[in-house]
Each structure stands twice: as structure tokens, then as C-alpha cells.
Amino acid sequence: MIKRIKKWILFGILILIGLGAWLTYYAVSPLKLKPNSQEISIEPQSSLKSIANQLVQQGVLKEPWRFIMMAKLLNKESFLQAGNYTLNKNISPYQLLLSLNHGKTTQGSVTFIEGHTFAQMRESLSKNDAIKQTVTELSESEILKFMGSEYRVAEGLFFPDTFYFNRNTADVVMLRRSYDAMQSKLAKAWDGRAANLPYKNSYEALIMASIVEKETGKASERSTIAGVFINRLRVGMRLQTDPTVIYGMGAQFKGNIRKKDLLTDTPYNTYTRDGLPPSPIAMPGLAAIEAALHPADTKALYFVGKGDGSHAFSNSLVEHNRAVVKYQLGK
């Protein structure tokens, strides 16, 4: 009787050893996926069984039960994370399990560009296939309510940068990250601003920064351009900047600004109205914000493009007219 028990125990041990060796071989053997890499998606709140079946449906596994057994034996079944993953061709089931366990999801990215408008920002979000679309039907004011913003115009309130995220992240999450980044950076820059600037608050500084962003072709000139506009504000001169006029024209702008456009009044026409426009006209970058809050010490009131992205700055209208003749008329 004792011999028979020992024989069965030995037989059981051999089976366990064989099963362990077989499962180990399975765990470390490459899956040999047909593409060089493959994108997979694991649904949120999926159980181990559901995950294994999803992997079968997506052509990663031939059957689910060996993967389920491996995860259970390694005590990983409760730690698998949803998301999108990129698998290389020779990934093993064990490596796949670790990827799901650590949540090594495929990252997506979206870039919001300095000088772009809020409409262009929304377009970047809507065209990004890694982002879950949830606010495409919402108005600008409804989006601002989500942000908890006190403003009615979204222009300029979002920070231009490249943001990385797990695939299938909602667009409103990316908007929130950009919005919070702008509020944080603007508040910090405002606290460290130069003295005696003609702004009532940080929002006016943001408006100025957006103008500087659109007017600047050469980075080194940002603070000087800011200085010119601040000088104009101080002496009661109108800003007379074309980008604000173009923004106010909206869809009516066809690529060329004409004299009648400069004379047609809109809330953003700084040729017909005094002071700053009612809102920013684009997303300013941090460099433009810093320029608006730390303008160059200059007496210049005018500038004209030289045709190479740089500008000629003048202290008087006479000097400016000469520069216009030289650089714009080529005389």
C-alpha cells in the first residue's frame, strides 16, 4: 500500500514537473506574430478570461487557456491593465503578460503650435486617431465651463506644447492639461513681471503676448516688438497691428489684407479702436509671454519687415517712412 502511494506521489510529481516545463516553454517561446509589430487594444474593466479572449480575437493567441493558466500561476491576474499596446513580432506570452501587468501602453501625442488659434487646436484634436472624441459637438463656451474658466472666449487660454498620453485618452483631458499648463505658467510669469507695465491684469498681458507671437518672425526680436506696442499704449497711440485685423475678419480673410480691411471696424481692428483687443488672437508660447512681461527698453514706436523675417525699428514716423521705402518699396 505504501509503495503504491509513493508511486502515485512520484507520478504526480513527474506530471507537475512536466506541466511546469511545458508551461515554461510556452511562456518563453516567441508568439511569432505575422506583422513585424501589432497594435492591440484591451477594453477597460476586463477580466483575465476576457483579456485572453480579446487576445485570441485580435490574432495574438491561438487559444486562451494557456495564457490564463500562466497568469494565475504567476498571480498576475488581478493586475492587468486596459489600454492600447504595440507588440513586436517575437514577443513571448510571458513578456506580453508583463506588459499588460505594468500597463506599458502605446503612447500617443498631440502638438499644439504657438500662434495657432483655438479652432486650429480643436482641429488637431479631432484629427488625432489616438484621442477619444468627446467634445466635438460642444461649443467654445461649454468647453470653458468644463475648464472652470471665467472667460467666454477660449482663444489664448491654452498652452502650446507637445503632450503625451495613453491612447484612447479623451480630448477633454488633453484640453484640461493644456489649459492648466497655461494658467500655471501665466501666473508664474505674471508674479515675476517687470514694474510699471500698462496692464490691468494677467489676461491683458496674455492678449499682448498673443500679438507679439503673431508679429514675431525672429525670436530675438520678441521683447523689442513688445516694447514697441507698450510704448504705443503708454502714449495713447493705437496698436495698428495687422494680425488683430486678420483675426477680426475671420473667414473673410483670403490671404491678403487690403486698405479697406484696415478701415472696416471690428472689435479686433486695432487701426480703428484704441487699446488692446478684447481677447488674445492666438496661443502664445512662453517666450512671447515673457517678452510681454519683460519688454525691451526701447524708444521705438514703429517697425517694418525687412523681408527676411526681421524688422527695422524706428523712433519716429519720419524714420519709419524711410524704412518703409527702403524695405517695402525697394527704393
User: Where do we find the cell 485618452?
Assistant: 169
Helix (H, G, I), strand (E, B) or coil at 248: helix
Which comes out higher in pLDDT, residue 231 or 307? Answer: 231
Average pLDDT, the chain: 89
Alpha carbon distance 50, 43 (integer Å): 9
Which comes out higher in pLDDT, residue 23 or 276? Answer: 276
Query: Taking the model in full, what pTM does it have?
Result: 0.74
Query: Where exactly are the structural domains of the chain?
Result: 27-102, 107-187, 195-327
C-alpha cell at 70: 500562466
C-alpha cell at 82: 486596459
Contact by Cβ (8 Å): 113, 160: yes
Alpha carbon distance 279, 153 (integer Å): 7
- Model pLDDT, residue 309: 85
pLDDT (tens digit per residue) in 40-93: 888 888 899 999 999 999 999 999 999 998 899 888 888 888 888 888 888 899
Segment of 23-27, 68-72, 234-238 carrying the highest mean pLDDT:
234-238
Question: Architecture of domain 27-102 in CATH?
Answer: 2-Layer Sandwich (3.30)
